[in-house]
Chain A
């Protein structure tokens, strides 16, 4: 029963408490009166995917931070069988002239279903971003770790025919994790940003690679 409670409340907790967000963010391009950021993106990350998100800039005396949520799904003819939602944000820790360093932390809830199994996963995505930020453009490097912390397996009848004694349920400790590193760049014009990021993905043991060992994402953001 606890698990169902967690399933319901965990995303809500994350929305309320996470300090920060996910898309390519030009810290230098954010104007004082711009609080809301809405973005759409498309690209390749564990498959061809598309998504959208919303972020809110939280003003404070110490460190600029942006909190937000986003949703993405891979392409395919079955809608909603696979998706990923993230809640979290981004906080800028250091700014020296035009060089800035920020970190991003997000809680992740994702779902995947194929002919044999349905997977539900709670995880985390943490990254550091170091870059050169100007009001009209930025260029940054990022490195992060995407961890699948706990995963629920529910197998379909087709797989039970293959292996009748397969064990359904929550699997822990962590069922997976991938490091990623790459570059991100963006151009800002009035209340709009266009961002591009690309990089490589490595499994957590640094020796094996995922089926698609890279990511690339094009994003468009409107600020108001």
Chain B
């Protein structure tokens, strides 16, 4: 009876749809031509570049899968030191074009190759000469992706900076995911995530709804020290690619450290002091995959704070990156 009454009353009002682009989450670059974008490798990607076009290029690779580069924008500071700084949202993430889940899952591990090809294409788009140095700065999932890219293309980049990649081998990634999400059963955070399912359900590939739900569930994480309610944390989540890559990961167990032993350039490895799932021992274990590595612990911040926290960035991360770039 209550339901019938509700239907009767509300049928008189203007319909407002959850999946209408722009209602609950920002439009993507294919829906809003006003956003900065590049078309590469068959996808329209949200992307921006700062600094002199022909100087050493630092390409930021964001975390997730399914986050965006907004929280990495402190990296624009590198342009003030004369570097070319490139940001892009990976396909299916942030404000970049969306693809169906099956696009990824049908490819299996080939989906990762598509992401590597996208990265190659982004570099090629902004690179002005073959001699221009390229350095990757990957955070979290971006660190895994950047490491996988370096292992596959050791000659294609001249430097690698990573920020707290959860793991590089699937067993470690899986262990880290468990540790970073081991909420207490009676905790507000867990119930905030689960309770929402009775209000909003999204069908497969209903990106607007699924991305919105993902954003609502990810407001903070007391284990990793993430607080996405802080200004500038993100634009839009990419739920479908996140789900698809997790499915692929479970099925095919990728190893992002494959081939990294042939990358003989020193790697700069950041990890945070407030991520309880990433103690010193874990940082040492994960970083051991790199032939030459310099570990830097960024105290006082959690997982995204390595770059996102202004104070940590200006006092620890940026000076270390500048020193690293000058050493290459």
Contacts and interface: CB of A to CB of B under 8 A. Distances in A.
Interface in A184-202: 201
Contacts of B187: 75-77
Nearest to B189: A76
Interface in A79-133: 82, 84, 87-88, 105-110, 112, 114-117, 119, 121-124
Which size bracket describes the interface of B in this complex? Answer: 35 or more
Contacts of B232: 161
Contacts, number: 197
Nearest to B193: A211
Given A116-B215, A170-B10, A208-B203, A165 B22 contact: yes
Interface residues of A, number: 72
A208 B101 CA distance: 12
B182 to A, nearest CB: 15
Contacts of B216: 114, 116-117
A58 interface: no
Interface stretch (A28-36, A135-143, A150-158): A150-158
B2 A106 contact: yes
B24 A107 contact: no
Contacts of A201: 197
A151 B2 contact: no
B23 A48 contact: no
A203 B23 contact: no
Interface of A: 2-3, 6, 10-11, 13-14, 17-19, 46-49, 74-78, 82, 84, 87-88, 105-110, 112, 114-117, 119, 121-124, 146-151, 153, 158-159, 161-163, 165-167, 169-173, 175-178, 201, 203-205, 207-208, 210-212
Interface of B: 1-3, 5-7, 9-13, 15-18, 22-26, 185-188, 190-204, 215-217, 219-220, 229, 231-236
